[in-house]
Structure 1
Amino acid sequence: MLSIFDQGPPPPCPAPFNLAAFVLRQAEALPEKIALSVLRPGGSDDWSYARLAQAVRGTGTGLLERGLQPGQILLMRLGNSVEFPIAYLGAMAVGLVPVPTSSQLTAPETQKMIDDLAPAAVLRDPAIACAGHPDQIGLEELAAMRDLPPCDWDMGDPERLAYIVYTSGTSGNPRAVAHAHRAIWARQMMVGGWYGLRAEDRLCHAGAFNWTYTLGTGLMDPWTIGATALIPEPGTEIDRLPEILAAHRATLFAAAPGVYRRMLRGRETLTLPHLRHGLSAGEKLSPDLHRQWTALTGTELHEAYGMSECSTFISSSPTHPARGAALGRPQVGRRIAILGPDDQPVPQGEPGTIAIHRADPGLMLGYLNAPEESAARIHGDWFLTGDQGAMAVDGEITYLGRNDDMMNAGGYRVSPVEVESALAAYPGIDQVGAAEVEVKPGTTVIVAFYAGPAALDEDDLHAYIGDRLARYKQPRAFVHLPSLPTGANGKLLRRALPAYYPDRSPPPA
């Protein structure tokens, strides 16, 4: 059997359509229900569906009154605050195209974006770095827009441009990814295929408002079905999250693996009386961290795989928990294949490139101003993700790492994820990344870089890994770092690891 998952496409997106209108479709039926609670010690700032919808639609009106026109691009340089999702949805409500960006970017980095995007305006918190632009809309002006008369929804073709996000840059320079209004319609496949989300849920996301993972999983998806989104106020310490989750009766919790790792550090118990399960995305979840969470909380942790170009489309879920170290399975409605070098599906169980069908409603329109690069990602009916995986007979997919992260050891291709998973459980290792390092001209070896309280004994590490990986997969050296290099969204930058290798010879092979 070939590595193809296809149980039929999802229902087509209705037309005319507007992403923001779909997100806030419950506001009329549930005006007084709490849509958003910004959590702080001893209380919260609560936004009802009616208040949220008014703020979004008023912002839409204000943006149009400033002379902005549907189809124009707005660069978002706002901080970790509720202003971000209100402005984001307000722009799309009237057909403008927002570009959410990380508040950690520097002014020179934003200059590249401004040159690339030619935005009509910049939505700007003065505390956030940004290159110069002649039309900047500040926080006070944005706040005043909320009370304006509500805008009409800009309904139209679901294929038209809705928003732009930048890739993390883990595989090279960040790219501007253009998404259609239909992208939110496609996310319904995640509600059952990953979240197990219900209207009565209180979903807490640990990320910042201005992170696309938070915007989608933490805010927009709960709002589309009438659930309540919980976001800890900016500056909340990760160590305090368990107390916050319990106090505010969170039933679902979403975060990146690094947050779960910090929450569990030094704990022997973790009591979360209302929690049904956790959700993990953003980077690969190690099996050891998964086991620790389950043991301490008594709840499951469901992982999802996706990318800026198509959000998440492979996941485990309450109805289909992942088996072993597998990611999970394609969500119902997705069409997924594992392709070989000839762009044909490989037999089940064999590694290849993870690909999603080009007709998936969540797939990007393309890279902005880069038609040739966009076309290069499409091979026949498939969009190639650039990630390696293998599909089991039941559809379960195991993630093996990016094509360009794959390491070579004596002619064998080795997945860095496999090496990292084997080391993640070792006491004293908080985070680990594996990379191929050229130690002298023409000679490369696998090196494990790790962060933790202190450097560990290399002989002990070699002995530990020797019982867990074939000889050719084992790191030849271990490098302790205060922290591993990550991008603005917290993802491990494996490409940056070799630069941290010290000028010394590795242990004998």
Structure 2
Amino acid sequence: MLSIFDQGPPPPCPVPFNLAAHVLGQTCADPEKVALSVLGLQAAQDLTYAGLEQAVRGTGTGLLDAGLTPGDMILMRLGNTLDFPIAYLGAIAAGLVPVPTSSQLTEAETARMIEELAPAAVLRDPGVACAPHPLELSLADLRNMYEMPPCDWAMGDPDRLAYVVYTSGTSGKPRAVAHAHRAIWARQMMMDGWYGLRPDDRLMHAGAFNWTYTLGTGLMDPWTIGATALIPEPGTDPAVFPDLLKRYSATIFAAAPGVYRKFLRDDVRVNLPDLRHGLCAGEKLSPHLHRTWTRATGTELYEAYGMSECSTFISSGPTHPARGEALGQPQTGRRVAIVDETGPVAQGEPGVIAVRRDDPGLMLSYLNAPEETEARMQGDWFLTGDIGAMAVDGQITYLGRNDDMMNAGGYRVSPVEVEAVLSAHPGITQIGVTDIEVKQDTRIIAAFYTGPAILDDSDLHTYVQDKLARYKQPRAYIHLPALPAGPNGKLLRRALPAYFKAPNT
């Protein structure tokens, strides 16, 4: 039997459709229900569904009144505040195309984005770095829009462009990924396939408002079914998350593995009487961390696999827990295969994890890059670049990357992008970058270089500071007499970890 999971497609997306309207479709059912609680150590700030919809649709009106036209692209340079999801949904409600970006990006990185996207406007928090743009709307401008008359929902073809996100690629150049309005419709397959989410749930997400993982799993998905989202206030120490989970009666907790590592200890037990289970995504969950969570809480931890190009489509969940070391199985409605260059491989054989090119959660394309888009396709399949194996029951085991992509705290980072920056340093003649496991479940980005002399680490940290987002910056620099290379002189990046002697964080 071939490694194909296909139990039929999901229900078709309704027509006409608007992503933001779908997210807030439960508002009328209970307008005064709390949609969001921002959790402090002493008290929470609540926002009802009625208040949320008013702010979102008022923002849509304000953006149109600012001279923007449906279809215009808007670069989002906002910080970790509630303004981020409100602006995102407000833009989509009005038919505009937001481009959410990490607040850690530097001015130089945003300059390249502005050149590529030619956005009509930038939504700008003054505390967030950004290259100049002729039309900048400030935080004060956005907040003044919240009480404006609500915009009409811009309904239309679910396959039309809704938003753009950036991801790093193996080429080293961040790629703009274009998604359709139907992407939110595809996420309903996660509700049972991963979350086990119900309207009476209180889902606490540990991430920042301006992280796409938080935006989807922590906010939009709970709102879509009328549940309550819980977000710790910015700057909250992860050590207090167990207290917040208990105090605010969280029923589900979602975070990246790095967050779990920060507050879990092998010998600590956590009393969380309302919690049903935890959710994990962003990087591979280690068996040790999984065991530590289950011992500490007495609940399960369900893992999911997805990427910027496609919403999470393989997961474990309450109705189908993972078996052994497997990730889980494709969600009902997803069509997934394990392929090689000839097509789907036999069950149990390793190959590239692939999802059908007509999956409603799959990107429209890499923006303005049709050749690069098609290069990721093989017949009916979109190739993820990750290696896996499918068992006879559909469970998929993750076997690693098919390239050299790194994972830094849940962010995928291309070593080529980091190497391109460091190669311009006058004291470096050759550079190789990879991620290194410095202790169990902890990885850092390390740069290995050659040059006439050993360079001062602090000088190198300063050199990359205004050129790379913080999560892309190496934490360790290692001078070598020569970098490992193959017979043709090509860098053997995967041989670099053997040259790492001791952590230098």
TM, length-normalised to structure 1: 0.82
Aligned residue number for residue 9 of structure 1: 9
Aligned residue number for residue 118 of structure 2: 118
Aligned residue number for residue 400 of structure 2: 401
- Residue type at the aligned position of 1:373: E
- Residue type at the aligned position of 1:198: R
Aligned residue number for residue 69 of structure 1: 69
Aligned residue number for residue 349 of structure 1: 348
User: For residues 440 and 470 of structure 2, what CA distance do their matches in structure 1 show?
Assistant: 21
User: For residues 59 and 49 of structure 1, what CA distance do their matches in structure 2 show?
Assistant: 15
User: For residues 172 and 128 of structure 1, what CA distance do their matches in structure 2 show?
Assistant: 23
Question: Displacement of 1:488 after TM fit?
Answer: 5.9
Aligned residue number for residue 127 of structure 1: 127
Q: What are the ranges of 5 or more consecutive residues in structure 1 without an aligned counterpart?
A: 407-415, 418-434, 436-443, 455-480, 505-509
Question: For 1:73-132, what per-residue CA distance to the aligned partner results, in whole angstroms no more than 9, with x for missing partners?
Answer: 000000000000000000000100000000100000100110111000000000000011
SS of the aligned residue for 2:194 comes to: helix
User: For residues 217 and 18 of structure 2, what CA distance do their matches in structure 1 show?
Assistant: 19
User: For residues 386 and 405 of structure 1, what CA distance do their matches in structure 2 show?
Assistant: 10
Aligned residue number for residue 208 of structure 1: 208
Aligned residue number for residue 257 of structure 1: 257
User: For residues 277 and 121 of structure 2, what CA distance do their matches in structure 1 show?
Assistant: 41
Question: For 1:409-433, what per-residue CA distance to the aligned partner results, in whole angstroms no more than 9, with x for missing partners?
Answer: xxxxxxx99xxxxxxxxxxxxxxxx
Aligned residue number for residue 365 of structure 2: 366
Aligned residue number for residue 382 of structure 2: 383
Aligned residue number for residue 50 of structure 1: 50
User: For residues 171 and 335 of structure 2, what CA distance do their matches in structure 1 show?
Assistant: 24
CA contact (8 A) 2:286 2:441 kept: no
User: For residues 383 and 5 of structure 1, what CA distance do their matches in structure 2 show?
Assistant: 14
Question: Displacement of 1:271 after TM fit?
Answer: 1.4
User: For residues 453 and 181 of structure 1, what CA distance do their matches in structure 2 show?
Assistant: 36
User: For residues 71 and 448 of structure 1, what CA distance do their matches in structure 2 show?
Assistant: 43
Note the 1:21-36 alignment, pairs <5 A: 21-36=21-36
Aligned residue number for residue 272 of structure 1: 272
CA contact (8 A) 1:161 1:181 kept: yes
Question: For 1:51-84, what per-residue CA distance to the aligned partner results, in whole angstroms no more than 9, with x for missing partners?
Answer: 0000000000000001100000000000000000
Question: For 1:252-274, what per-residue CA distance to the aligned partner results, in whole angstroms no more than 9, with x for missing partners?
Answer: 00000010111103652111111
Question: For 1:154-201, what per-residue CA distance to the aligned partner results, in whole angstroms no more than 9, with x for missing partners?
Answer: 000000000000114477322100000000000000000000000000
Question: For 1:404-462, what per-residue CA distance to the aligned partner results, in whole angstroms no more than 9, with x for missing partners?
Answer: 149xxxxxxxxx99xxxxxxxxxxxxxxxxx9xxxxxxxx9x996314799xxxxxxxx
Equivalenced residue count is 439
- Residue type at the aligned position of 1:225: I
User: For residues 325 and 111 of structure 1, what CA distance do their matches in structure 2 show?
Assistant: 43
Note the 1:131-146 alignment, pairs <5 A: 131-146=131-146
User: For residues 211 and 311 of structure 1, what CA distance do their matches in structure 2 show?
Assistant: 14
SS of the aligned residue for 2:150 comes to: coil
Aligned residue number for residue 80 of structure 2: 80
- Residue type at the aligned position of 2:41: P
Q: Summarize the Cα distance change of 1:499–1:125 in structure 2 as closer, same or farther, 3 Å threshold.
A: farther
User: For residues 159 and 488 of structure 1, what CA distance do their matches in structure 2 show?
Assistant: 32
Aligned residue number for residue 461 of structure 2: none
User: For residues 496 and 149 of structure 1, what CA distance do their matches in structure 2 show?
Assistant: 56
User: For residues 453 and 161 of structure 1, what CA distance do their matches in structure 2 show?
Assistant: 38
Question: Displacement of 1:364 after TM fit?
Answer: 0.3
User: For residues 174 and 346 of structure 2, what CA distance do their matches in structure 1 show?
Assistant: 33
Q: What are the ranges of 5 or more consecutive residues in structure 2 without an aligned counterpart?
A: 408-414, 416-431, 443-456, 458-463, 476-491
Q: Summarize the Cα distance change of 1:167–1:402 in structure 2 as closer, same or farther, 3 Å threshold.
A: same
Aligned residue number for residue 489 of structure 2: none
SS of the aligned residue for 1:302 comes to: strand
Aligned residue number for residue 421 of structure 1: none
CA contact (8 A) 1:3 1:347 kept: yes
User: For residues 249 and 366 of structure 1, what CA distance do their matches in structure 2 show?
Assistant: 41
Aligned residue number for residue 284 of structure 1: 284
User: For residues 470 and 8 of structure 2, what CA distance do their matches in structure 1 show?
Assistant: 33
User: For residues 265 and 386 of structure 2, what CA distance do their matches in structure 1 show?
Assistant: 30
User: For residues 242 and 502 of structure 1, what CA distance do their matches in structure 2 show?
Assistant: 39
Question: For 1:264-307, what per-residue CA distance to the aligned partner results, in whole angstroms no more than 9, with x for missing partners?
Answer: 03652111111100000000000110011001110000000000
Question: Displacement of 1:489 after TM fit?
Answer: 9.6
